[in-house]
Amino acid sequence: MENPNIKIQKTELLSNNWYLLNKVTFDYLNKKGQWITQKREVYDRGNGAGILLYNKENKTIILTRQFRLPSYLNGNSSGMMIEVCAGLLDADHPEQCIIRETEEETGYRVTEVKKVMETYVSPGAVTEILYLFVGEYNTDMKVSEGGGLEQEQEEIEVLEWPFDKAYNMIATGEIKDAKTILLLQYAKINNLI
């Protein structure tokens, strides 16, 4: 992971309240061969995983709806976001994480998932890599109502919708979450449903 054109000079911890916010001072060798000193704030919240659950036979998918404060602070009048099931890895492998999160958030116990891509969420300021998966579900896999964990103060609404309805909500702006858009487009391009 060594880039000879980058030299990290100093990392200062600005906050360790929810996750880590650091101020990083680094030297960067530009195209003119000059070393330029830059400072950036970098938010480290860990890596995450997301999954699009789909039922090929019924042509349905499972999504979630929950309040997201940052979206509310940036113009989302209700703060509610429609998203695929997702969560932070913590100490888990991405596949273990998404299987656990799927049951906690949606109430479905899946055992087989397929990783379809990795993406940086906002590489200009956030270190997070998001591992994205798809997985089939059916009614036999339903083991609880889902909704998230009370100890994490989660209040997650589970949505089972026709795939076409959700896909069209990208164009109407009702779905604005990047990981959800990526997975819905993946499903459309690859004819999963």
Q: Which of 177, 180, 151 is nearest to 80 (CA)?
A: 177
- Tens of pLDDT, residue by residue over 18-56, are 899 999 999 999 999 999 999 999 999 999 999 999 999
Supply φ then ψ for residue 180, to 5 degrees: -70, -45
The ranges assigned to domains in the chain are: 6-44, 48-189
- Tens of pLDDT, residue by residue over 129-179, are 999 999 999 999 999 988 776 766 678 999 999 999 999 999 999 999 999
pLDDT score of 154: 74
Report whether pLDDT(121) > 70: yes
pLDDT score of 22: 97
* Superfamily of the domain at 48-189: Nucleoside Triphosphate Pyrophosphohydrolase (3.90.79.10)
